[in-house]
């Protein structure tokens, strides 16, 4: 029986030899730990030529609370691996392949994606991947449709909801997205210069009520098995490929949460570009982002409707016109969650490189101000923004 | 260890002596089986004076599928008992008290309610219980608020959702409420004379899409631990008391489902009264029903808001104004589910005494026609019926 122990590089190599599924595992010779070392160890396992062939990821227990939280901590590897395995069934081209996992060791062996780059880093540098938006939309449609009530048998769905109960990671989202940016909280990380703007969020009744509604949907609307954290830093890209990783927040929640998170990180980049690139490059990049926002939604909606038309198993949900009506609600949720993600990435603790990499302080504050204002607008206007085109018009309007 | 066996009357007496919680259990001497004998045995346990003191209810396995469905069948007793126990914590005056249950024996020991009467029977006879509406509203508010995201800690709520996963009984609702009345199905039980009206439901796109939306919410919106079947036949009343029984459909679902089911059975009675009573008594009874419909909703909403104001534990949901905004959505759901319950009780298999007891065939058909038309109106107009007063206006308008 396996028992938790922290892996050394040598352990990781041995583990990859055993579970990496290579025809000739003996070629694996060395490992490098490339994770941030805080919550997870991430080892790249190299062959004799120094080519990375396999990735071994191991969850570390939270250092400060090894006692009580231990079992939950281990469980996040099961949840991540099972979410990826489930999503891989339906979007194999866009989901990292899990080769093996062991819940007790809190370890997961995955395909190597060294030929890919993290999308956020590329967006920050102004590198454009024209195919990424459509691929992301495809990924979202395939994973979310096939884990929804349209497709799963009701008994299977109910069992899956129970299997993917993810209290610890959901609680992080519940706090970081929906509470902390709207109260005075030590973890918030916006600059002092923005205090008046941020303070105005706290007392905006309409905004706070809308955020409460989005949090309530996050709690209660078990529509599909979400990735749960599908931002541009959880997405690997090449010229022709897009792969989602890091699904430890997976659980059954509102479809608009995943779609909105994806769009939000494109819009944060939109807001940040003037601080990152030359004016001309920034203008080009902004148009690319808007095109991507529309492209993600259109690809998602088109594929979702096509899947609903051909593969819906539920008799009532299969009625012609229902899937389209449902997607209108998903869109409203999407715009709202998009706004919430923008605000939690700018006001809250989880700041992103798009903003952090802006060296000029005044410019960085301006970009933050722009993003926060946009986030608020989206949350408030979600029910009045009819489609992706109207969303883009709102974004242009906001500056 | 207990092992399933069907109880005889003598077994039931012995069991009640052991688990009925009486100070002097030896007074229990005899039992009478009063259930319908189809799915459950229900024994009243009498003392020497012939007074019923305890009820013993045992689930029978479905006769036709003893093999495969056995374990699920037993589980419905756990679900019923646990739902009643949970609801009793918050509405002890309006929930039957479970004294003991054994999941393996599929048996439950409950307080005796022989001094109460089934509300439906009283409604059919034209007996008015002026306090019942407010008590039912109170029951709904207490049970639904305290099992919602407003009150439960997110981790507790998630564990409770998993604990109350109820696939078998939910599937009955999914089929009987949302599918069968809208298709040609052998279980439907409306008279041939109504074929044109019922056939028109099947091809009403707007209606079918609205019903699909309500089914989808039933699948996915885990708002609170519902009773799941809170019609007037699951409610015992006296002049001063109201108690809910029969909670085997308990699961986490949309709050409007319970509220709508409760209102629907009052409105079915409203439609049936001209066939049950003299014109004058029927007119009086109809006014009572409308008053009750409003009374249930107002009592529910008022108590829910008061509980939300004083006992909400979630930081975001506690924001002033949110509970009221949420109740507007609950109201829309309520009107929709009310329409769905009316239609499944008139078109579908689960016909009710209010209609069945109408001896004049033409009158019975007229009452059915009225109810089906009302049900359809409510489903279609749910988003445009702003409050209980507007609902009552619609009902009066429909005849």
**How far apart, in whole angstroms, are the C-alpha atoms of residue B159 and residue A168?**
12
Query: For position A73, what pLDDT does the model report?
Result: 64
In the predicted structure, residue A301 carries a pLDDT above the cut 50? yes
Coil, helix or strand at residue B42: strand
User: Is A314 an interface residue toward B (CB < 8 Å)?
Assistant: yes
Given strand B28-33, what is the order of strands in its sheet?
B28-33, B40-47, B52-59, B107-111, B98-102
Among the residues of chain B, which ranges form H helices?
9-19, 70-90, 119-125, 132-146, 154-163, 167-178, 195-202, 205-220, 255-276, 279-311, 322-346, 353-356, 361-381, 388-397
CA distances from B85 to A269, B77, B89 (A): 52, 12, 7
Average pLDDT of span A311-327: 98
Q: Is the pLDDT of residue B68 over 50?
A: no
Average the pLDDT over A290-312 and give the result. 98
Q: What is the dihedral of CA B335, B337, B340, B342, to 10 degrees?
A: -70
High-pLDDT (> 90) share of chain B, % = 91
Distance CA B228, CA B170 (A): 8
**Span A65-114, pLDDT tens digits:** 344 444 456 788 999 999 999 999 999 999 999 999 999 999 999 999 99
pLDDT recorded at residue A69? 47
| Segment A281-288 long-range contacts (CB within 8 Å, at least 24 positions apart) | A281/A126, A282/A126, A284/A126, A285/A123, A285/A126, A285/A128, A288/A128, A288/A130
Residues A215, A248 contacting (CB under 8 angstroms): no
Q: pLDDT band at residue A397, thresholds of 50, 70 and 90?
A: confident
Assess B208–A contact: CB distance below 8 Å, yes or no: yes
Are the beta carbons of A219 and B161 separated by less than 8 Å? Answer: no
pLDDT over 60 (residue B34): yes
Please, is A335 exposed, middle or buried when counting C-beta atoms within 10 Å of its C-beta (0-12, 13-18, 19+)?
A: buried
Are B167 and A159 a contacting pair at CB < 8 A? Answer: yes
Chain B CB within 8 Å of residue A201 CB: no
Which residues in chain A have Cβ-Cβ distances shorter than 8 Å to B221? 220-222
pLDDT, position A38:
64
Q: Do A158 and B170 touch (CB under 8 A)?
A: yes
For A118-172, the pLDDT digits (tens) are: 999 999 999 999 999 999 999 999 999 999 999 999 999 999 999 999 999 999 9
B72 with B167: CB under 8 angstroms?
yes
Chain A partners within 8 Å of B222 (Cβ):
220-222
The shortest C-alpha distance from A156 to chain B (Å) reads: 9
pLDDT band at A294 (very low <50, low <70, confident <90, very high): very high
The pLDDT of residue B70: 47
Residue A44 annotated as binding site: no
Q: pLDDT band at B385, cuts 50/70/90?
A: very high
Tens-place pLDDT, residues B231-275: 999 999 999 999 999 999 999 999 999 999 999 999 999 999 999
- B229 known ligand binder: yes
Share of chain B above pLDDT 70, in %: 95
B215 labelled ligand-binding: no
Is position A328 annotated in a ligand binding site? no
> Cβ contact (<8 Å) for A212 and B317?
yes
Evaluate if residue B190 carries a pLDDT over 60: yes
Q: How many CA atoms lie within 13 A of A95 on its CB side?
A: 26
Q: What is the pLDDT of residue B145?
A: 98
Alpha-carbon distance A128 to A90, whole Å?
27
> Mean pLDDT score of chain A, rounded to an integer?
95
Task: Quote the pLDDT of residue B37.
Answer: 58
Domains of chain A as residue ranges with CATH: 9-111 (3.30.200.20), 117-397 (3.90.1200.10)
């Amino acid at each position: 029986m396996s028992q938790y122990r922290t892996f050394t590089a040598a352990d990781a190599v041995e583990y990859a030899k055993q579970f990496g599924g290579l025809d000739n595992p003996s070629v694996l010779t060395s490992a490098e730990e490339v994770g941030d070392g805080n919550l997870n160890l991430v080892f790249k396992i190299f062959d004799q030529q120094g080519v990375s062939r396999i990735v071994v990821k191991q969850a570390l227990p939270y250092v400060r609370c090894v006692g009580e939280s231990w079992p939950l901590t281990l469980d996040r590897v099961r949840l991540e691996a099972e979410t990826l395995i489930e999503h891989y069934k339906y979007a194999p081209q866009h989901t990292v392949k899990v080769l093996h996992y062991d819940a007790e060791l809190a370890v997961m062996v995955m395909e190597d994606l060294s030929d890919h780059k993290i999308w956020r880093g590329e967006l920050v540098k102004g590198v454009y991947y024209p195919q990424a938006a459509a691929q992301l939309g495809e990924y979202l449609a395939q994973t979310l449709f096939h884990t929804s009530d349209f497709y799963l048998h009701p008994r299977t769905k109910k069992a899956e909801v129970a299997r993917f109960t993810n209290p610890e990671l959901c609680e992080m989202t519940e706090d970081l997205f929906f509470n902390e940016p709207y109260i005075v909280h030590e973890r918030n990380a916006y600059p002092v210069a923005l205090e008046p703007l941020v303070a105005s969020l706290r007392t905006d009744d309409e905004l706070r009520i809308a955020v409460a509604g989005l949090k309530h949907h996050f709690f209660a609307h078990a529509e599909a098995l979400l990735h749960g954290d599908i931002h541009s830093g959880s997405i690997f890209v090449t010229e022709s490929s897009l792969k989602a990783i890091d699904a430890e927040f997976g659980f059954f929640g509102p479809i608009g949460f995943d779609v909105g998170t994806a769009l939000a990180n494109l819009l944060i980049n939109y807001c940040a570009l003037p601080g990152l690139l030359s004016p001309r490059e920034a203008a080009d990049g902004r148009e690319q982002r808007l095109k991507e926002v529309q492209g993600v939604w259109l690809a998602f909606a088109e594929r979702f409707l096509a899947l609903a038309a051909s593969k819906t198993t539920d008799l009532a949900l299969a009625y012609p016109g229902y899937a389209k009506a449902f997607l209108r609600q998903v869109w409203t949720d999407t715009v709202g969650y998009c706004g919430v993600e923008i605000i939690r990435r700018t006001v809250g603790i989880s700041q992103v490189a798009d903003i952090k990499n802006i060296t000029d302080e005044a410019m960085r504050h301006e970009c933050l101000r722009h993003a926060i204002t946009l986030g608020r607008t989206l949350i408030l206007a979600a029910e009045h923004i009819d489609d992706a085109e109207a969303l883009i018009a709102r974004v242009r309007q906001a500056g």
